[in-house]
Amino acid sequence: MFTGIIEELGTVERVTRGRVSAVIAIRAEHILSDLKIGDSVAVNGVCLTATGLTGHGFTADVMHETLDRSALAGLGPGSPVNLERAMAADGRFGGHIVSGHIDGTGTVRRVRRDQNAVRFTIGAPAGIMALIVAQGSITVDGISLTVADLYDDAFEVSVIPHTAAETTLGSHRPGSTVNLENDVVGKYVQRLLYNKNRNAETPDAGHA
C-alpha cells in the first residue's frame, strides 16, 4: 500500500524491451537507503517490484498488461518518474489509500496558473470519471491530489508550486498522458451496488 506522497523524483536510465514486456532501470538516491530486492516501489503510480539493485538505482520488470494499461510504455532514457516506497507500518499517512494498481490513463488538456498554484485539467474515460467526486481524492502519476472541479469528461486538480517542482507534474503539458487511480473506497462501493442490483434482478431459484 502507498499514500501518494512522492518521496523522490527519479530518472529512467534505460528501457530494455522484450516482445511483450520490458525491464526498466531507474536512477534514484533517497529510496535506496533501505530498498531491497523484492520490495514494492510505485513508479508514476504503478506498483513495481525491485528485481535488481545497481548501487545508484534499481531495475524492475514491467508486464505486458501493465504496459497496456498505463503510461509506462512511453518512458525512455531521461524520463523523470515519481517514486514512492510502500508505506511502513509506523509511517505517517499523509495522502490517501493508494494501491498502485492503475485504473487507466488520462490526458492533460490544460495547464494554467491559479494565483500561487498550478491548475491541471485532465480528461479521463467514462469508467474513471464515474468514480471521481468533487473534493475527493485522485491519484495522478502516483501523486495524491484533491479534485478541485469536476466535468462530464474531465476533472481539475490544483497543485502547489512545491508539488509541481518535486514531481513529474511540473513537466506535463497539454497532450501529456498520465496514470490515474481512483479512490479505492469508491470502487468498493460501486462493486457492492453492482452486486446488490444484480441479486435483485435474479429470480429466486426456488420459484422457477
- Model pLDDT for residues 171-180, shown as the tens digit of each residue: 999 999 999 9
Start-to-end Cα distance in the chain: 45
The pTM of the full predicted model, rounded to 2 decimals, is 0.88
Q: Grid coordinates in use for 204?
A: 429466486
Which pLDDT score, from 0 to 100, does residue 204 have? 61
- Model pLDDT for residues 56-87, shown as the tens digit of each residue: 999 999 998 898 899 999 999 999 999 999 98
Q: Using CA atoms, how far apart are residues 36 and 58, in angstroms rounded to an integer?
A: 9
Which pLDDT score, from 0 to 100, does residue 203 have? 63
| pLDDT band for position 185 (cuts 50, 70, 90) | confident
Residues forming a β-bridge with 112? 119
Which pLDDT score, from 0 to 100, does residue 58 have? 98
Instruction: Enumerate the H helices of the chain as residue ranges.
Output: 64-69, 126-129, 161-166, 184-201
Percent of the chain topping pLDDT 70: 95
Q: Using CA atoms, how far apart are residues 12 and 75, in angstroms rounded to an integer?
A: 7
Please tell me the least confidently modeled range out of 89-93, 120-124, 166-170, 179-183.
Answer: 89-93
SS3 content of the chain, % helix, strand, coil (to 5): 25, 40, 35
The mean pLDDT value for 134-162 works out to 95
Q: Report whether 59 contacts 50 (CB < 8 A).
A: yes
| pLDDT band for position 208 (cuts 50, 70, 90) | very low
Which has the higher per-residue pLDDT, 120 or 93? 120
Average pLDDT, the chain: 91
3-state SS assignment for residue 68: helix
